[in-house]
Chains A and B, each alone.
Chain A
Amino acid sequence: MNFEDSPEEARYRTTVRHWIADNAPDMSGLGAEQRRNWHPGHKEIARRWQATKADAGYACISWPKDRGGAGGTAIEEAIFNQEEVRAGVQFTYFMTGLHMLLPALLEHNQDALALNRVPPAVRGDEIWCQLFSEPASGSDSAGIRCTAVRDGDDWVISGQKVWNSGAHVADYGMLLARTDPGLPKHKGLTVFWLDMKTPGLEVRPIRVMSGESELNEVFLEEVRIPDSQRVGEVNDGWKVVISTLMNERAALGSGTGLSWRDMIALAGQTPSWEGSVMEDPAFREWLADYYVNVEAIRLLSFRTLTSLSKGEAPGPASSAGKLLWSNKTQEMTDQALDIQDHFGLLDGADLAVLDGAFQHRFLWSPGLRLGGGTDEIMKNIIAERILGLPGDIRVDKNVPFREIPHGR
């Protein structure tokens, strides 16, 4: 039991902390709203930061050098990520591509066509998006109906994708399509990668309840791509999907954003019946409960680091971190609004506390419990993969996909 870095890890942390301090982008010129994800000014800063990191060997630290990485260790990458978070310069634009999609792509395709995509992605010049979910395939993530039909050396893809984060700015996408509806659900799927400017592909932003439009629908109408852009074997796409999804859950569980310290600061400056909210016993009790849960998220990330340092893969227990993080974020923002009383309604950067960060996060937090695996799916994973409880009865098991009942 040791929560301190080894001497070697401590040296690495000191080095990267200094390097980040010396090289981190200056965000002081950005207003509150420009500092939010997907704002063009914010995105441009993220791109420049990614290129700076790539030049110095701090992008994709744990990837092998022959795949465009820095040839470092997973623990070094994790330490660098922690230091980025600490310095407030961690950006999400490239995570889908660099943490989920490209590692899976390179596992299967090492031809020039695929390898050429790596350096610009590592530098942040090209953004990747995931094209998996569909209107009829959310938690039932293998229930894909978008079809890919072989035509000579090409595939012709038609269908609709949804919840594609960043598709409106992405240069490339990784797509899951059904290549044999005569096989059972998980069997007839194949993964492809494609240029988002391929003719027949149209991106339409979705306005979510917080008012933002970083999620999209993607419509594909007879989109033609060569067989060389297939990832893995035909009808064996589920294998590719599994590795990308596991990476996503591990990444999401690490926890970012507003903390218990922000809540203490807010409570200290907000008046209550007598004195500040900080003196309200009900708030103190809430704070204690909240702290032990979010502290556990921080501590459980050390377990991930421990596994990485032993060369082991993080297990399904990271589902617990994701559940905690999304639920506690929602509770925390709700509490932040509540202790401000009537004033908690205000969300404008000009009047609201902390430029409206709590209100913004409050309206965004329902999505945290849905994206990257819903609460319910996380609990199923814990129950089935950790506790060993049986799967639910599946009426679609061993049935050809085209015969599975479906709604509209």
Chain B
Amino acid sequence: MNFDYSDEQKALKDQARRFLSDVSPLAVARKVLEAPSPGFDATLWTRIGEQGWCGAAIPEAYGGFEFGHVELCALAEELGRALAPVPFASSVYQFSEALLHAGSEAQKLNLLPGIASGERIGTLAFSEGPGVLSAGRISTRYSNGALTGTKLPVTDGGIAHHGIVLALGDAGPDLFLVDFSGNGVTRQAVSTIDPTRGAASITFQNTPAEPLGSAGKGSGSGLEQLRRIHDRTAILLAFEQVGGADRVLEMARDYALERYAFGRQIGSYQAIKHKLADIFVKNEVARANAYYGAWALASNAPELPVAAAAARVAASEAYWFACRENIQTHGGIGFTWEADCHLFYRRARHLGLVIGAQRDWKRRLADRLVRRVAQENAQRSEA
């Protein structure tokens, strides 16, 4: 039993925090926000790549550094804290996890080394329009080795070299690997609520593609496969959210100590103290569920689907709550462009939407809980 990082993991996390406070102060995120940019900071991305972080959970056989998944969680927490404007989540939590989980040996050998070094960027393209994703609402099609259709939005779609695209194949929805820099791919940057994390609309016109996985042909289980990949992504994103939420609580706390009203620090008023205590409790709930998810991810435990959905629900709620109450604690100054509060407010919502919103994840969580209870009851009646 250990509800904590190990000493080695803590050392890695400390080192990551020092590194990021040096190379990724909030000014870097702000620069991406304010200047016309592709939605990430290329210099920072290179520096992060040099650290080997992109290959943290990739086995050495595929060019990775094999630190482990809990180590990747520790790095995610620090990247979230730093609000790093890089495609780490798309390339590592989504693309790399998708390949590791569902890719063929050849696909892993071919693509993972570039991802692990940070030289290549990957992402997943699944959405096509407003509303929850479902089989009936996919219009991108795959036939005879080529894709046709439009995906919108695709986070980091404008800068990714590789993509995994959800499309309708002969057997139904499936996932397909595509070279985004190849022929037949038209990419158009789109404006989002969090410009520090870029997104694009991507149109495929007879674009060469291959099914993800060893079978070499689709099985029609692409939606289910995407959900399993996103379970893994959800846990890693939860650590970014927890890292961000903790930092936002510290911002609110520091401001409450510094700001005086009616002759005393505003942090001495219970209206503020209790607000900040509420943030703390939500952050604790998020951290507890994220830790359980990290354990499930690293040990490939049967609890993974429930733990992942719980981590996503708890962390999305905590980060969003912390960000909105942080602005409230800051008062008018927190509403200005100049203050950093909105950088987090934007990122919290970005992270809460990027692999599906709360309502969908809550629905999944409830489904999985009901299934678990049914299994427990079946086991009990057998015994």
Contacts and interface: CB of A to CB of B under 8 A. Distances in A.
A324 interface: yes
Contacts of A268: 370
A2 B4 CA distance: 8
B294 A389 contact: no
B354 interface: no
A261 B265 CA distance: 45
A1 interface: yes
B267 A292 contact: no
B100 interface: no
Contacts of B373: 261, 264-265
B253 A388 contact: yes
Interface string A245-267: 00000000000000011001100
A285 interface: yes
Most chain A Cβ neighbours within 10 Å, of B269, B277, B285: B277
B314 interface: yes
A395 interface: no
A387 B3 contact: no
B267 A389 contact: yes
A292 B268 contact: no
Interface in A267-304: 268, 278, 281, 284-285, 287-289, 291-293, 295-296, 299-300, 302-303
Given A287-B366, A292-B314, A387 B295 contact: no
Interface in A145-171: none
Contacts of A382: 276-277, 280-281
B264 A285 contact: no
A349 interface: no
Given A1-B298, A4-B1, A383-B274, A296 B289 contact: yes
Interface string B364-380: 01110110010010000
A296 B290 CA distance: 10
Given A3-B292, A299-B3, A376-B270, A285 B366 contact: yes
Interface in A378-407: 378-380, 382-384, 386-393
Given A288-B362, A292-B310, A390 B288 contact: no
Contact of B3 (A9, A303, A392): A303
Counting chain A residues whose Cβ lies within 8 A of the other chain, the interface size class is 35 or more
Interface string B4-41: 11100000000000000000000000000000000000
B273 interface: yes
Contacts of A383: 267, 273-274, 276-277, 280
A305 B3 CA distance: 8
A201 interface: no
Contacts, number: 156
Contacts of A288: 309-310, 313, 361-363, 365-366, 369
Contacts of B359: 285
B257 interface: yes
Determine chain A's interface SS by DSSP, over half rule. helix
A139 B363 CA distance: 40
B229 interface: no
Interface in B287-327: 288-289, 291-292, 294-295, 298, 309-310, 313-314, 317
Contact of B1 (A293, A305, A320): A305
Contact of B289 (A292, A320, A389): A292
Contact of B292 (A265, A299, A305): A299
Nearest to A308: B1
A5 interface: yes
Interface in B311-350: 313-314, 317
Contact of B273 (A9, A389, A393): A389
B2 interface: yes
Contacts of B292: 3, 295, 299
Given A1-B2, A1-B298, A299-B288, A379 B277 contact: yes
B1 A2 contact: yes
Contacts of B73: 1
A2 B277 contact: no
B313 A292 contact: yes
Given A379-B273, A380-B270, A293 B365 contact: no
Given A382-B280, A389-B276, 10 more contacts: A1-B5, A2-B2, A261-B373, A265-B373, A284-B362, A379-B278, A388-B253, A389-B257, A389-B268, A391-B268
12 contacts: A264-B373, A284-B363, A285-B359, A288-B369, A289-B362, A292-B365, A306-B3, A380-B274, A383-B267, A383-B280, A387-B249, A389-B276
Top 7 closest pairs, chain A to chain B, by CB: A383-B273, A288-B362, A284-B366, A379-B277, A299-B288, A296-B285, A382-B277
Interface of B: 1-6, 70, 73, 249, 253, 256-257, 264-265, 267-270, 272-274, 276-278, 280-281, 284-285, 288-289, 291-292, 294-295, 298, 309-310, 313-314, 317, 359, 361-363, 365-367, 369-370, 373, 376
